[in-house]
Amino acid sequence: MAREWRVEREGDDEHRQDERWLITYADMITVLMIFFIVMYALSAKISAKNFEKMAKSLQTALAKKTKEKKVENPIAPDIENTPLSQESQDIKRALAPFKGKSQVRVDLNDHGLVISLADTSFFDLGSTELKPDGKAALAKIAEVIATASNGISVQGHTDDTKAANGKTGSGNWVIASQRAASVAQFLSTSGKIPAKRFEIVSYGEYKPLFPNDSPEHRAMNRRVDIVVQEGPPKPAMTPGPNSSTDTLPPAFQDPNRVPTPPPTFNHGNEGGAVPNPFGNSF
């Protein structure tokens, strides 16, 4: 009986020796678990740092992009402090009592200060004569822009409706130019703005703001734009008689040579020869 007990004890001891590998295995699993926990903690910490860096990088990139966008299409340096910006605010205040102020749009862009006049409040349909209410609004605008010396481009626009003569293009060009001329004439005479500051441009139907697919869009396309430019009036594009770019003067000239008078051309009505103003010979 005692022997059987010792055998059982010895067997248990041998069985326990066979299972000692479990201790090593458990230790290894514990170490691996700790290792992965540490790695996870480190990765979470690194990701947080990377996220913070990414956020700062995106913020810097977006700020830089916004700054570059402003530089690529500037209206003017520090436009909030430019005279045109001040004139824009003054015009809006001056037109505040005008009942048709919704028909006037004041905007700053890369062309300058653009004052768009819808024809609804300034002209009758198909007419080129200013309405009384339109003249009152133009008088307010003239009070603001008369004190500067900037060039002013008055640009006429129409929709694509056929003119009274049944044709498009030329008829609308004429209406647009006459409306622009009426506005410029009023600003010059009644508004006391020097006429040399103006240029009159007719775009007819060819620069619409919207497709001519509805009465509302057509009404918005029929307009006169008063563009107050950033600089003084542009000089004439026609070169003077002595500024020809086709020929170059000789390097050496005889100081005693008598200069050749400019060519003349015959005036059809008078029959006599008069000096050719441009000095050409054709």
For the ranges 15-24, 38-47, 157-166, 169-178, the maximum mean pLDDT occurs at 169-178
Place of tokens 């005479």: 189
Spatial separation of the C-alpha atoms in residues 205 and 12, rounded to whole Å: 107
Q: What is the pLDDT of residue 25?
A: 86
Q: How confident is the model at residue 23 (pLDDT cuts 50, 70, 90)?
A: confident
Provide the pLDDT for residue 21: 81
Mean predicted confidence (pLDDT) in 185-200: 94
For residue 255, the model assigns a pLDDT of 64
Quick one: pLDDT band at residue 103, thresholds 50, 70, 90? confident
CA angle 203, 206, 211 (to 5 degrees): 135
Residues 198-207: pLDDT tens digits? 999 999 999 9
Using the structure block, give the residue that is written with the tokens 């010979």. Answer: 281
Q: Residue 120 — pLDDT band, cuts 50, 70, 90? A: confident
In the block, tokens 């500037």 appear at 74
CB burial string 127-145: b at 16+ within 10 A, e below: ebebbeebeebbebbbebb
Lowest mean pLDDT among 163-167, 182-186, 210-214: 163-167
CA angle (247, 253, 254) in 5-degree steps: 145
Lowest-confidence pick of 29-38, 68-77, 87-96, 264-273: 68-77
